[in-house]
A and B are shown apart, each in its own frame.
Chain A
Amino acid sequence: GESVGLHLPTLSVQEGDNSIINCAYSNSASDYFIWYKQESGKGPQFIIDIRSNMDKRQGQRVTVLLNKTVKHLSLQIAATQPGDSAVYFCAETRNTGGFKTIFGAGTRLFVKA
């Protein structure tokens, strides 16, 4: 079935480098996208979101890019820090009469000191 997916299950980066986490989605009815961070033993926490009428949105050290043509979403983390080590999930809100939220399987980010 259709789902939000991932290009890489794990990503290892050096402290101070930039990280890019990718996500693919397949349903054009999705109009809202969000990235969450989940640390061990905790619930997911909001990082940044983007609506389908935008291509790019920036936060503090994070940027989300949305390419609707190829149905691709990415999260960029600048100057990655050890505290960024976690699992990152992309999610989409799919407007198909109701408003389902579909999560990707997640990418584990390791930051090497």
Chain B
Amino acid sequence: EAQVTQNPRYLITVTGKKLTVTCSQNMNHEYMSWYRQDPGLGLRQIYYSMNVEVTDKGDVPEGYKVSRKEKRNFPLILESPSPNQTSLYFCASSYGPRDEQYFGPGTRLTVT
């Protein structure tokens, strides 16, 4: 089954404790993105990747890192989480930037 998976689905952590949210797709897509979704603000792109080893900032990259060492995986790293990073995070992938994106199920992160 073609899908985007994210782990964990739910995470409660404390300020400053490094965490990684994994994202994996099995569709051989080149374009992958991370978004955060906050009430009233829609989805905002954090980082995107055009292909392996090619990543670029979206609109809200501060406080986040990503890597793309393999085509299928695109982890999101929060080196020192803060409460303002409490949000619902979605990973997505597509063949290219001008194709429909397939979204993962979301990761709800709470930073206390």
**A interface, CB within 8 angstroms of B:** 31-32, 34, 42-46, 49, 51, 89, 91, 93, 95, 98-106
Contact of B56 among A43, A51, A98, A104 (CB under 8 A): A98
**Mask for B76-108, Cβ within 8 A of A = 1, else 0?**
000000000000001010000111111111100
Cβ-Cβ contact count across A and B, 8 Å cutoff: 62
Q: Are B48 and A100 in contact (CB under 8 A)?
A: yes
B89 → A minimal CB distance (Å) = 10
* B13 contacts chain A at the CB level, 8 A cutoff: no
Interface of A is mostly: strand
Cβ contacts under 8 Å, B98 to chain A: 31-32, 51, 93, 99
Cβ contacts under 8 Å, A91 to chain B: 43
Q: Complex: how many Å from CA A61 to CA B99? A: 21
Q: Given the interface contacts A99-B97, A101-B48, does A44 sit within 8 Å of B90 by beta carbon?
A: yes
Q: Are B101 and A101 in contact (CB under 8 A)?
A: yes
Q: Are A99 and B50 in contact (CB under 8 A)?
A: yes
